Amino acid sequence: MIREYDYYLFDADGTLFDTTEMICSCFEHTAEQFGKQYDKKLVKTHIGMTLRKQMEIYYGPLTDQMFETFRTAHMDYQLSIYKDFLVLCPGVKEALSELVQNGKKCAVVTSRMMYTLELFLKEMGIFSFFEVLVTPESTLKHKPDPQPALKALELFGSVTPQKAVFIGDSPFDIECGHRAGMDTAFVKWSHNDKSLLSVKPVYYLNDMRQLCENS
């Protein structure tokens, strides 16, 4: 049974909406465009990091100019295909609606940039459920560092971590929330193997509506 919290922090990709195949398709497209090798397993392993960090793991060190060239190709392609891939994960809209109706506060804490985060949240009809959005533009350090989770609590009004739970699908999410002093929940529809998590989450979710059992 999941205890009741006042604040619910959600990762976006792989947690609120399923974007794994879309992200892999974008990396494949960019790799082909620039004559690079494509390794789907390597791409999936690092989903959840910032795009620059993913690309440097995947393609090697990049200058700012090189990164911008790769990023533009990657994101232009993503914006052209996202409607063919984007879908909500199990029970997301129902859970968010019930949490907000019960007076809970919700945030997104993601490595996705603000523009596409807002676009995808609106496309999926869940934008209005969130009072706080934390993206790479919001902090100097990124997941798995605790700074993004702590930034969300700051934007809520400097609330204590004990009042919040961080929900995610990657080791970076669980470590971020844990290092910020929060309880954490790992979604079992993740493409990541739960046995490989470096930090054990407090909860495992089969469906997002489990968050509402005590709310």
The residues annotated with a catalytic role in the active site are 11
Alpha helices by DSSP H, listed for the chain, are 20-33, 40-45, 51-59, 64-85, 92-101, 114-123, 147-156, 171-179
According to DSSP, the residues that pair with 7 across neighbouring strands are 105, 164
Is 16:88 a contact under the CB 8 Å cutoff? yes
Report the distance separating Cα 82 and Cα 62, nearest Å. 26
Q: Please, are residues 115 and 23 in contact by the beta-carbon 8 Å criterion?
A: no
Asked if residues 152 and 10 have their Cβ atoms less than 8 Å apart, the reply is: no
Peptide bond into 90 cis (omega under 30): no
Distance CA 71, CA 98 (A): 37
